[in-house]
Amino acid sequence: MEASSCLRYQVCGFGLSWIWLCLLLLHLLQNCSLVLSDSPYLVGMGSYDITGPAADVNMMGYANAEQVTSGIHFRLKSRAFIVAEPDDGKRVVFVNLDACMASQLVNIKVLERLKARYGDLYNENNVAISGIHTHAGPGGYLQYVVYIITSLGFVRQSFDVIVDGIEQSIVEAHNNLRPGKIYVNK
């Protein structure tokens, strides 16, 4: 008799836990307004190295001429995300850099390269380039005087690797476009 009541308790205990879990999930789903888009989008992602000079370049944004790079701790990346409508080709590109920021000159050069490669598909109206605002990467890639004082001028190697990396991450994202869905949660 004792064994059967113990077995009944374990089964009932599991059943109660299961019921509470289901009720919790039901509650969460009711309060989560998840929306699925009606039409699928094309979604692509790409990543490319933008580490730049590993030594003897002032680190971006510290305004301290003595703070220079002396090796690589982590590789820096450009990450591109493209969302496109399959029917009319409308699209948007968001690029996130492991860099302090982008600049007008960086944007112009990237857009020139994209125009040469894709025509008018990517332009100033649908490409956004943003930095994570790290000060742990090489500087000297901006055209603004106040930012290149501590790097003792424009550093072509820093600039070129960032522009190349942004372009290549967008190319990779473009080549990786696949049907996808967008979920919005609030």
Q: Which residues of 141-170 are buried (b: 16+ CB within 10 A; e: fewer)?
A: bbeeeebbebbeebbeebbebbbbbbbbbb
Q: Any idea what the Cα angle at residue 180 is, between residues 174 and 186, rounded to 5°? A: 115
Helices (H), the chain: 2-31, 104-118, 145-148, 156-175
CA distance 26 to 17: 14
Strand, coil or helix: what is 67? coil
Residues that constitute the known binding site for Zn(2+): 133
Residues that constitute the known binding site: 133
For residue 47, give the nearest of 98, 111, 117, 102 by alpha carbon. Answer: 98
> Is the CB of residue 36 less than 8 Å from the CB of residue 183?
yes
> Is the CB of residue 132 less than 8 Å from the CB of residue 140?
no
DSSP assignment letter at 60: T
